[in-house]
Structure 1
Amino acid sequence: MNDMESSKVEQSRVTLMDEPTSSSNSGARTVEEIKIPVPYGHISGKWWGPRTEQPIIAIHGWQDNAGTWDKLIPLLPNSLSVLAIDLPGHGLSSHYPKGQFYYLFWDGVIVVRRIVKYFNWKKITIMGHSLGGAIGFLYAGIFPDEVSNLISIDIVSPTIREVAFQTDNAAGIVDQFLKYETLTEANMPCYSYEEMIDIVEDAYKGSITRDSCKILMKRGMALTPNNKGYHFSRDVRLKVSGLGLLSQDLVMEFASKIKCNVLNIKGVPGMSFDKPEYYYIVLNKIRENAHVEFHEVEGTHHLHLNTPERINKIIADFIQKSYTENDESSSGSGSDIYP
């Protein structure tokens, strides 16, 4: 990235210390808070590692935020650059204007596309958890020649729903959206810090530890206007997410278009959003045109946040291998330097 590109984002720099996991990953790692302008405000993000290198785009799950990567990224090689974003309405990113519905999967694709065009990147690597992995799946299927690598954690594709689901549930979803739209900061409930953590821990039903809740809430809560308590910073309208889901036929068609290197890490027990067999049916479809590496790893749906030490080497090895293969194909020799 050149100086002009670097100056296009608002930023602040802090220094974090890597955990002492290995000598190759010791020392200080920088992370910058950035804001990327979009028509409705900005997309916030955390840029980990060197700004001179094109980053992996890391995308969090539904109602989470960029903090979901705070424990995993420090365990990856220091030479690796990662841009962890807050999706619209999540974390520190702008909410959509009043009256606009969140079509989660498609919104994510559009956001990634905006970022790619903003920085003028030609080919990207995406790392996504849950919703983020589903967004990466769609992006890799829509723009197959512009994705080098896709890393998905405990998801393989967008949630599959039969057509009848849409017809049976659309009315309730629309009315619920209109109800949530009337809520303002003034009439939203507020809580103490510990009450907020209790609510989050209970809502995730064991998927994240209490310590992980506190990490997510660094970007996930905000002081109320009167400073008498906290409320969630995410847009309440995100709870209404049942429109714009995909049928199995459509998911399979997108799967057939993917041709990048794919790393899929499935948590055991993890979390299932569809019929269990769909995971492997879709994964096998991707295999028809893409190189797929698949791992089942003991852990919850948020294993990357709770137990990142179980998957950091898998991810680092996959990235190193993929980048080395790309270097060999373009220059005839391997490289240990990540782009």
Structure 2
Amino acid sequence: MGSDYFEARLNAKNSMVQLNLDSLRLEAEMFYDDSDYSYKGFSCDYSLAQYFCKSIADEIGKEPVIFSDVEKYCAFTPLPVENYYHCVDSSGISITTNVFPGKTGYCDGKTFVCPAKSTSITSEELKKIGEAEFRKELNGFFMKVGELSFQIWIGKKDNLPYKFTFEKSVDINKFNSKENGEITVKINAEFSEYGKPIKIEIPENAMGLDEIFKEEIDKMEKQESFYRDYQRKSDMNRLQSIMENHFVSNHSKYFQSKSMPTEIEEITIYKEIGQGPCSSYKWISNFENSQKYCAWACLESGKFYIVSQSGTRFEANYQPAAFNQCEKSSSPAASELMPSESISEGKGGFFSQEASIGKIIQRLFKK
């Protein structure tokens, strides 16, 4: 139980550091817009970046490294798993790697790129590496402690234990070279009155170890869920920024696609980060309408984060089935459009809007 708990905690710390650094990408784009289209000066001192920088520092003891210039930026941080790093840059890269991002030619203040994608490792691979490292450190701890021995007295007739003694002295210098001395642990326990009833009263509001660990793990999982939802919103806001820039530079026409685009003008569109209610980000086809678009992310909070033309962005209790439902002022109430019925899959993976709207009308007439 204890080993599983600490491994889970290490994995959670890795995830939170990664998600916090990824969240800085949105803040960098907002800084860019607020600074006359320049990244120069973007750092942890930027008000909207401070929260995420502090969250990273809380996990690993220091803020991420950020370098920025007029047209580019990059940021990286070590992860709790030793010799592994997470890095993001203005080209859209978000990578976990064992290549030090601060080396010459990468994110060093003269160049602003993360290590190559070929060095990337997946979250599952990092999890396995972290678990192996934890076990290695645990073994190292017991190697420093040294041999453990104890004595136990067992009754000849009943084979029951009657006495247990343990004593161990450990040299502190083995764990901290700046400290000297010994720590001694002694245990002397005696057992008797077998077979006699013992009444043990559990203190009021007492919690077992399982409950304590569960509460802590649940808390970490909620934090991870919050950060994943924040990342989904960040990805949607970034997509919106790319779409609006395309509109300005392409004669007042939005990028058109039948399904969620993977790339717009050589800019990569981020994919759903996983572990959420939907396997991908959603999109209503605007292939025949260059003046509108609508995309959304399914949040673990149970809501949906919607972005559309002219900078509209909001959370809703439904998935939109038509462009007018992507505009906050005309969004249907949750009672009119339930999440489970809000959208259906058509042929080729496109959304069948008529079926969903038909269900809404039927419900309205039944009322």
Higher relative contact order (CA 8 A, sep 6+): 1
TM-score range, shorter chain: under 0.3
- TM, length-normalised to structure 2: 0.21
